[in-house]
A and B are shown apart, each in its own frame.
Chain A
Amino acid sequence: METTSALEKVLRGVALTLVVLFFMFPIVWIFLMSFQTNETILSIPPSVIFTPTLENYQALITGKLQTASGTLDIAFMKNLLNSVFLSVSSVAIALVLGVPAAYAFARHKFRGSEDIAFTLLSFRFAPPLLVLLPLTQYFQWMGLSNTYIGLIWVYQLICLPLILWIVRGYFEDISADVEYAYRIAGHSWFATFRKIALPLAGPGIAAAGLLAFIFAWNNFVFALVLASADKQPVTVGALAFVTASGIQYGQIAAAIVLSITPTLALALYAQRYLVEGLSLGAVKG
């Protein structure tokens, strides 16, 4: 490793540049496109130098698009709000349900605990449509189709296993001795959990929550199958956007930028925990 020739340095530099180019170019290009008018986008050769316009964002945010044939309503902001609401509530519920369960799995080796934990984990690996297609019918009977409650419930399939497995790992890393000491001092089980275990596993819980949020936000198939236009998150909304008539390419690009910004920002913020979280702790990062 220490003996790097000049040639190798150059080759490494070239390879690194190509890697960065391939992985960053689409994001940069779509970002640029979101500030272009349709004329700029359609011009050949594509122009890198152009006068940026905020028209696309303006149309999305006001929900009104002026076209030659009149004003067009865009519901994209509604999609964005749906995404925020669905992801935040799903993660909140998954934390309330998942953290105590993770604690139970980490601290108490009870009968069937491994089996239950693996059953929950197996949801992470099962084909979503296997469950979703029959679920559409159940939801119709139960009056849950196209409701936020129904969606948030199904979103638990992504959020719960993730939180359970990551947080369980963090609880396992905390020495049980500290908790015993606190309990011997006469504190209740609940006080021990709240005052000792929770704060110590805090960073892990936060990381799991952030990751669960990203996965919930990025989910596509659940809402595609179970929600109609007014409840759809951005992932599904943006797709409908592409096929809608009268929408311009710049607005699609702007919609994509608005849709991916929250998760990308969170990813940068939580990047230290991503390795462990993405592999459900299979690889300690």
Chain B
Amino acid sequence: MATVAKAARSGSGFKISKRALPYVLSLPALLVCIGILIPFFTAVVYSFQRYRLSQPYARKWNWGENYLTFLTDPGFWNTLKVSLSYAVITVGLELLLGLGIALLLQRRSTINNFVSIMLLLPLMTAPALAALMWKLMTNPGFGILSYLLSLVGIDNFRWASSPDTALLTVVLVDIWVYTPFIMILLLAGLRSLPTQPFEAAALDGVPRSFVFFRITLPMLTPYILTATLFRLLDSIQQFDIIYAMTQGGPGDTLTVFQVEAYLNFFQSTNVGRSAALMIILWAITYTLSNVFIKHWLRLRERARGEA
């Protein structure tokens, strides 16, 4: 009797067995996301079909043809090349800049803290809107940056409207938005490093370049890896900045994966090719994110173990 009374009390109204409870709690969140898994499988199906919105009657399975044609399709290789160069250039430059700024702001002082807070602002600006801001600043007619370049003798710099400088322009916007991300991660890392190795090195009079390359950098590596992988995953999928700036143009200069898939779907209405492109991008990001999650879990375990 006593146990019954206790069970009734602890159930208080609705009875959920102890084992079912966690499932019940996480189920709604799961259901919402499962709804999203269905389109994912649909995309896989589409990628193996000949499917154009303009010719729905001619829709049929063509199995690997969408993928096979990529091998000889210069448009696809251009997409792959632009996406990879965009990702590598932006993340590489942001890493160097972010590390530099983090080192600059490492010591806690009023001004350093103020600057590091100010640097959050570009990061919190919507990337699409950031692209518009830079579009206004690089307008060949009245853009302040075009004007500044003309002061140093570079006239007619056409920024995003020339195939030669379009990549540079979007990379610049990406750097403006995302360098602070790497910076704040590395700054958090730098400030959490133990002080003893540095004190010991200072006592021994070790040169600072040695301290940087042999102590700071190795201890900071987990943070650098985390920041790099996070950014690579985002950068290879970049859409907002490029689409808002040039919609993939001029020509096919900036048709990165997601922009190319978007244009394929809505402009050339080639659903099959669009889906195949997305599946390839997904395969790339899936591989990267698995590397990332494994590495991250190891870090988490280490952090838990030490704590």
Mark A residues whose CB is within 8 Å of B: 1-2, 12, 15-16, 19-20, 22-24, 26-27, 29-30, 33, 41-46, 97-98, 100-101, 103-105, 107-108, 110, 113, 116, 118-123, 125-135, 137-138, 153-154, 156-157, 160, 164, 183, 186-191, 214, 217-221, 224-225, 234-236, 238-239, 242, 249, 252-253, 256, 259-260, 263-264, 266-268, 271, 274-275, 278-279, 282-285
Mark B residues whose CB is within 8 Å of A: 9-13, 16, 19, 21-23, 25-26, 28-30, 32-33, 35-36, 38-40, 42-43, 46, 100-101, 104-105, 107, 111, 115, 117-130, 132-137, 139, 141-142, 144, 147, 176, 179-181, 184-185, 188-189, 192, 198, 202, 223, 226-227, 230, 233, 237, 239-240, 243-244, 257-258, 261-262, 265, 271, 274-275, 278-279, 281-282, 285-286, 288-289, 292-293, 296, 299, 303
Measured CA separation A273–B103 after assembly (Å): 21
Residue with the greatest number of chain A CB neighbours at <10 A, chosen from B26, B147, B176, B271: B26
**A-B pairs under 8 A by CB, number:** 274
Q: Are B39 and A220 in contact (CB under 8 A)?
A: no
Which secondary structure dominates chain A's binding surface?
Answer: helix
CB distance from B69 to the nearest CB of A (A): 19
On whether A23 and B21 interact (CB within 8 A), knowing A121-B293, A156-B32, A278-B181, the answer reads no
Q: Using Cβ atoms and an 8 Å threshold, which residues of chain B touch A100? A: 25-26, 28-29
CB distance from A15 to the nearest CB of B (A): 6
Residue from A44, A97, A191, A221 within 8 A of B147 (CB atoms): A44
Q: Using Cβ atoms and an 8 Å threshold, which residues of chain B touch A119? A: 33
Measured CA separation A16–B180 after assembly (Å): 14
Measured CA separation A283–B180 after assembly (Å): 15
Q: Are A97 and B127 in contact (CB under 8 A)?
A: no
On whether A16 and B115 interact (CB within 8 A), knowing A153-B35, A259-B126, the answer reads yes
Could you write out 26 A-B pairs with CB less than 8 Å apart? A2-B202, A19-B104, A23-B121, A26-B122, A30-B137, A43-B142, A44-B142, A46-B142, A101-B28, A107-B22, A113-B22, A120-B33, A125-B288, A128-B237, A128-B258, A129-B258, A129-B262, A134-B43, A164-B29, A189-B16, A238-B132, A242-B135, A256-B133, A260-B129, A278-B184, A284-B188
Q: Using Cβ atoms and an 8 Å threshold, which residues of chain A touch B124? A: 214, 218, 260, 263-264, 266-267
Which secondary structure dominates chain B's binding surface?
Answer: helix
